[in-house]
Amino acid sequence: MAVALAAPAFVHAQCVTELQRFDYSGAIVTYTVPSTGSYWLEAAGAQGSNNTSSTYAAGLGALIGGQFSLTNGAQLRILAGQQVSASGGNGGGGGSFVTDSSNSPLVVAGGGAGSGNLDNPGAKDGQAGNAGGAGSGGGGAGGTAGQGGSVGASGFQSGAGGGLLTNGADGWTTNTGGLAFVNGGAGGSANAPASGGFGGGGSGSSYVVGGGGGGYSGGGGGGNAAGGMGGGGGSFNGGASASNQAGVNTGNGYVRICSAAAPPAPPPATVQAVPVGGPWVLSALGAMLGLLGWRARRRSGVGR
């Protein structure tokens, strides 16, 4: 007879100790990895701006985290997204980005779309997946594969959100799309306070058409029909133990860098053979780390 002893469950590592937090600053900053090891990188996209004249509130930012093995001295580029206004304007929220020195993404969290008069449920929030959300009210499609979002065919279109690689499309007259991360990440311009948030947020239009959110792929611009809303920006996660949540962050975006000591590998199951010629009695000796120790002894009074 053989007895197999189960190993304890593996537990994903996340943020063990926060090393540095980056809040919105209006700039792309550089972080130097202090030592070779395992790190948890977490980014939260910004919420879109809310206009008090809008019927429906702005979309919320995505929250994206993953575990990475980083090398001492490596340079990371970091942008924390902006919400331009919590009570005025309707520009899209900026995405939050962590890339390596060559702009290859590690984690990116999409920003939410600006407020509007025609709701855009699900699509208005920063997305958990790579693609940006589409705008409502005849708005534009969200970008894919790191591209900026597009705008609808006509009318008072808002600006679309910028992606990692290309800018968001411009909307009506002076309403511009957000710039790509590789182009500096500025929000789209419009009459204040309808500008898009830093991190590629698209500008709002006519105070009731919400701009698209910035992110890995930009959200589409909101359409003219009934005062549509833009789509939220798409996200990216290149890490292990990935956590991708759509539409959870309020206000400005942020980036956190944490140590993430990898948990020990689960010990293998052990098999111990019991000699033939029983019967035998198994008695527990104790348990440690989920492993049971035992010994076998011949039952007393039983012949050979």
Quickly list DSSP for 8-20.
PPP-----SEEEE
pLDDT of residue 297: 54
Is 56 part of any domain?
A: yes
Do the beta carbons of residue 210 and residue 158 sit within 8 Å?
Answer: yes
- And the tokens for 21? 């937090």
Q: Residue 31 and residue 61: Cα distance in Å, rounded? A: 23
Q: Residue 226 and residue 300: Cα distance in Å, rounded? A: 87
Mean pLDDT by 10 residues, the chain (304 residues): 37 79 99 98 98 94 98 99 92 99 99 98 98 98 99 91 99 94 97 91 90 99 94 98 98 98 60 60 46 49 46
Number of domains in the chain: 1
pLDDT of residue 11: 36
Residue 99: what residue type?
T
pLDDT of residue 3: 36
Boundaries of domain holding 190: 13-270
N- to C-terminal Cα distance for the chain?
Answer: 18
Is 171 part of any domain?
A: yes
Q: Are strands 236-237 and 105-109 parallel, antiparallel or unpaired?
A: antiparallel
pLDDT of residue 154: 78
Is 278 part of any domain?
A: no
> What's the predicted TM-score (pTM) here?
0.83
Q: Residue 174 and residue 156: Cα distance in Å, rounded? A: 10
Is 279 part of any domain?
A: no
Element (H, E) at 171: none
Do the beta carbons of residue 142 and residue 117 sit within 8 Å?
Answer: no
Is 275 part of any domain?
A: no
Do the beta carbons of residue 215 and residue 161 sit within 8 Å?
Answer: yes
pLDDT of residue 4: 39
Is 69 part of any domain?
A: yes
pLDDT of residue 281: 54
- And the tokens for 280? 């035998």
Q: Residue 77 and residue 188: Cα distance in Å, rounded? A: 21
Q: Residue 170 and residue 175: Cα distance in Å, rounded? A: 6
Is 238 part of any domain?
A: yes
pLDDT of residue 221: 98
Is 45 part of any domain?
A: yes
Distances (CA, A) of 149 to 68, 159, 231, 235, 289: 29, 9, 9, 13, 51
